[in-house]
Amino acid sequence: MHNFFLKILLIVSVIFLWNSCDNEIDFEINDTLLTFSKDTVYLDTVFTNIGSSTYNLKVYNNSSKNILIPEIKLSNGENSFYRLNVDGIYNQDNDQGKRFENIELLANDSLYIFIETTIDINDIDTDQTSFLYDDKIKFLNSNNTQEVNLVSLVKDAVFIYPNRFENNEQFIYETLEIDFDGDGINEETEIRGRYLNDEELTFTNEKPYVIYGYAAVRQGHELIIEKGSRIHFHDNSGIIVTNGASIKANGEFSQNQDELENHIIFEGDRLEPFFENIPGQWGTIWLLDGSFDNEFSYCTIKNASVGIYTTGGANFDNYKLNLSSVEIYNSSNFGVLSVSSSIDAENLVINKSGQSSFAGTYGGKYRLNHSTISNFWNSGIRQFPSLLLNNFYIDSDDNEFINNLFDVDITNSIIDGNQNIEFLIEKLGDTNLDYKLNNSLIKFNDINDYFDNNPIYDFSNNLHYENLFQNISPSFINALDNDLRINQNSEIIGLGSLEFATQTPFDILNNNRTDSPDLGAYQHIIIED
Q: What is the pTM of this model?
A: 0.85
What does the pLDDT look like over 467-505, one tens digit per residue? 999 999 999 999 999 999 999 999 999 999 999 999 999
The three-state secondary structure class of 389 is: strand
Q: What is the pLDDT of residue 242?
A: 96
Instruction: Label each residue of 343-355 as H, E or C.
Output: EEEEEEEEEEECC
In the chain, domain spans: 35-155
Give the pLDDT confidence score for residue 125 in this predicted structure: 65
Reported as a pLDDT band with limits 50, 70 and 90, residue 9 is very low
In CATH terms, is domain 35-155 a member of 3.40.50.1380? no
Please tell me the predicted confidence (pLDDT) of residue 1: 47
Which residues fall within 8 angstroms of residue 280, CB to CB, at 6 or more apart?
303, 304, 305, 331, 332, 333, 354
Q: Which pLDDT belongs to residue 31?
A: 78
Q: Which residues pair with 106 in a beta bridge?
A: none
pLDDT recorded at residue 5: 43
Mean pLDDT in residue range 186-201 = 95
**pLDDT, tens digit (0-9, with 9 covering 90-100), for 206-220:** 999 999 999 999 999
Mean pLDDT of 397-405: 94
d(CA 446, CA 177): 47
Tell me the average pLDDT of the chain: 91
Work out whether strand 170-173 and strand 164-167 pair parallel, antiparallel, or are unpaired: antiparallel
Q: 126 versus 329: which is more confidently predicted? A: 329
